[in-house]
Amino acid sequence: MSASVRVRKVGLVGWGAIGRVVGTELAEGRLPGAELVCVVDNRPVTDAPAPQRSFEEALRECDLIVEAAGQGVVREWGARVLEAGVDLLVCSSGALTDGELARRLRETGPGRVYFTGGAVGGLDLLQAVRGLGPLSKVRLTTTKLPSTLHQPWMDEELTERLRGAESPIELMRGTAADVPAKFPKSTNVAASVALAVGDPEAVEVVVVADPAASFTRHVIEAAGEHGSYRFEVNHRPDPANPATSRVVPHAVLRTLRTVLGHGGRVL
């Protein structure tokens, strides 16, 4: 007699550029072992392939929540999801640079928390070299179109500089502990690097606005006594949401396949 296969009941939070791709793949059965049960969004959703539910309803109906709606959702609902015994896949990893929140999510259960690296590579190597000793330098430089980087906290002078930019502008330089909070939709990569390195304070983050940036660029530079490393990725922005890259939902799907136990492969 064949063993029964567990089907994960998935609730998707966020029906935007990321959620639409992930939800469509789930609804079309392209991830065996997972069923899209509902969609959660703070706006009315009329074109989703599953019914719209409240967050409370999703917790009752699902055993896996995929967050694709922003850092605020992770802060408000992350621990509650895990306390309900539901697993949580975090796309907005920028929220995890909040040390207290990251600690709460690690210590809360019985649900389990996962995160996806999103639009950047090399994280597995950064995790590996930690075993050789600390890195003396880790820097992430993120370059995007000015229109995707404007934030409510910016004053009128900086706003006008962004609007009229004719050459690259360095908007902020800080650590992965503070930059993601200033650019919550554009610096999840900084948090992913920080999680791989193990210390948000050890990662310098530079945010650059470039009017000629037809691609979103992330450059990771790291060095220590044991070696030096450099990774660069250039992604086309998602046409529906230029603040994110087209590859991000596919990175989420890859992580989902790992959570579901597909493939049995390291790569």
Instruction: Catalogue the active-site residues.
Output: 218
- Counting beta carbons within 10 angstroms of the beta carbon of residue 116, is it exposed (0 to 12), middle (13 to 18) or buried (19 or more)? buried
**Using CA atoms, how far apart are residues 61 and 57, in angstroms rounded to an integer?**
6
Burial of 205 (0-12, 13-18, 19+ CB in 10 A): buried
Non-local (6+) Cβ contacts of 55 within 8 A are: 13, 40, 77
Provide CB contacts within 8 A for 238, sequence distance 6+.
17, 244, 245, 246, 248
In the three-class reduction of DSSP (H, G, I as helix; E, B as strand; rest coil), residue 28 is classed as coil
- Phi–psi pair at 106, nearest 5 degrees: -65, -35
d(CA 3, CA 19): 32
Yes or no: say if 233 and 217 are a contact pair by the CB < 8 Å rule. yes
Cα 205–112–19 angle (5° rounding)?
Answer: 65
